[in-house]
Amino acid sequence: MREIIVLAEHRRNEIRDITFEMLTKGRQLTETINAELVAVILGKNIRDKAETLANYADKVLVIDDDRFEFFNSDIYQQALSTIIRERKPFLTMIGHTSYGLELAPSLAVSLNIPLVTDCLELEFSNGNLIATRQMYGGKMYSKVNVKKSESYIVTIRQGIVTPIEGKARGEIIELPPPVIEPVKKKFIEYVLPTVGEVDISSADILVAVGRGIKDQANIPLAEELAKTIGGVVACSRPIVDKGWLPSDRQVGSSGKTVKPKLYLALGISGAFQHIIGMKNSQLIIAINKDPNAPIFNVAHYGVVEDLFKIIPILIEKIKEVRKKT
Ligand SMILES: Cc1cc2nc3c(=O)[nH]c(=O)nc-3n(C[C@H](O)[C@H](O)[C@H](O)COP(=O)(O)OP(=O)(O)OC[C@H]3O[C@@H](n4cnc5c(N)ncnc54)[C@H](O)[C@@H]3O)c2cc1C
């Protein structure tokens, strides 16, 4: 049976969310083209990870080897090339992450397989792969009818698919350590964000500010609210353009895709470039003084009011509740 391969991404002993997103998408696709879903994991001491993946995939191919302790695209490329050459999967899915961006192009070139990057959606029609991508910085969507091929490689954008809990009982297959030619690239160290830097894509609660915040001097108000509810501050693009917050806080098509448990949007109109980056948040609450602001189309709850009236009340009330509990 033909296969769809998903390359599991893991870092610092954790499987990254993009893996489960791809497995969910991959499962949907196998149902439409009658294929098997195969997860591939390369690493060191990863048996427990393989077991987790077996809940999602029909087969889990594992290479447990010291040389895969840290991600190295050159070593990964060699191991994956061998797997893809041997198994001839219909499709290989890789995360559109810093890892995937380094790996997928060289892998596709080495195998002479078509590559489509940054896919939002995938479908098959008469055996052809059709990939949905964004164009012009997110202004338009295009459906790319990929040139017919025996095998394809795609990278999948993070945060687009909502992962569904796996119910599979996949077979775990240990592959022998592959022959790897010497590589020049070397892993040196993980550099974690310095104290004060924030990774908005992994935060559970985001307090996002837009142009409605009016002035840089008002950002601390949002920061106080964020602190009160245990969240961090994110923003729309104009806030970054003005230099009020760093670019790693920007949500949207040219910023980050986020999926927090709570997204509190303050004075954000809801332009589609912004919405695309936060619409999959579990709970969206918007405060905007314009009742027709498009943000209300995606918000679960909305407050039509001046944010400068609401935020201080909110902070006070939350503090009151906290004191009582
Ligand atoms: C190629 C391209 C890529 C882009 N990428 C991104 C991106 O990644 N992320 C992004 O965010 N944008 C992006 N943009 C910009 C996007 O089109 C919008 O311009 C931007 O999202 C608007 O930001 P905003 O909602 O903060 O500002 P505005 O659209 O100006 O909205 C401000 C909102 O605040 C409300 N408001 C004002 N005062 C108050 C108040 N006192 N109380 C309550 N509400 C108030 C107003 O009613 C209004 O709805 C991109 C644009 C382009 C062309």
- Summarised one tens digit per residue, pLDDT across range 5-52 is 999 999 989 999 999 999 999 999 999 999 999 999 999 999 999 999
Query: Ligand 1 mean position to 212 CA, how many Å?
Result: 8
Ligand 1 centre to CA of 196 (Å) is 25
- Ligand 1 surroundings by CB, under 6 angstroms: 137-138, 210-212, 236-238, 250-255, 267-269, 271, 273-274, 277, 287-290, 293, 306-308
Q: How far apart are CA 282 and CA 252, in angstroms?
A: 16
Tell me whether residue 71 is exposed, middle or buried, using C-beta atoms within 10 angstroms of its C-beta: 0 to 12, 13 to 18, 19 or more: middle
pTM above 0.95? Answer: no
Ligand 1 centroid to 268 CA: how many Å? 5
Domains annotated on the chain, with CATH: 3-174 (3.40.50.620), 200-324 (3.40.50.1220)
- List b or e across 105-124, with b for residues whose CB sees 16 or more CB atoms inside 10 angstroms: bebbeebebbbbbbbeebee
C-alpha 65/C-alpha 174 separation (Å) is: 11
Specify the ligand 1 atom closest to the Cα of 211.
Answer: 26
> How far does residue 239's CA lie from ligand 1's centre (Å)?
9
Q: What confidence tens digit (pLDDT) does each residue in 94-143 have?
A: 999 999 999 999 999 999 999 999 999 999 988 789 999 988 766 688 99
Burial bucket for residue 140 (CB in 10 Å: 0-12, 13-18, 19+): exposed
